[in-house]
Amino acid sequence: MSLEEILRVGDQIAVVVVEIAGAVVIFVGALWAALRFVVEGLRHRSAAVFTPIRLSLGRFLTLGLEFQLAADILRTAVSPTFDQIGQLAAIATIRTALNFFLRREIAQEQQQVGESRTEAGSGR
């Protein structure tokens, strides 16, 4: 077995491990958010209690997407073809855009939560 073949096999294993890690992060985040949604939905009837759940789910999704992007980068690490580089560019662009909008939404929601806590604390 040549060094290049060893690198390819090692790279394929690394890709699978990182993809699984990303999928597990997203799955755990979705499961956790669903459970919290049910529990909080039964306890409270206010939509405001769901904002922290959405923020947490957004964080899980962002982290999971980062893992998936890392796997895509690893996939093209050993002797990439132009086709693979083009696919990576498209995937990276889409995932980066998703992460950007998720992070922006998380920041906006955090700001709103902070403002509502400040208003509640000042007796308004």
Q: What is the pLDDT of residue 123?
A: 57
pLDDT tens digits along 19-73 = 999 999 999 999 999 999 999 888 887 777 888 888 899 899 989 999 998 998 8
Query: Could you give the CA distance from residue 41 to residue 12 in angstroms, rounded to a whole number?
Result: 43
- pLDDT (0 to 100) of residue 61: 92
Which amino acid appears at position 4 of this protein? E
Please tell me the distance from the alpha carbon of residue 74 to that of residue 55, in angstroms, as a whole number. Answer: 29
Q: How far is CA 81 from the centre of its chain?
A: 27
Instruction: Supply the DSSP symbol for 44.
Output: -
Q: Kindly give the residue spans of alpha helices, DSSP state H, lying in 44-81.
A: 51-75
Range of the domain at 36: 3-121
- Give the number of domains in the chain: 1
Q: Is the pLDDT of residue 86 over 80?
A: yes
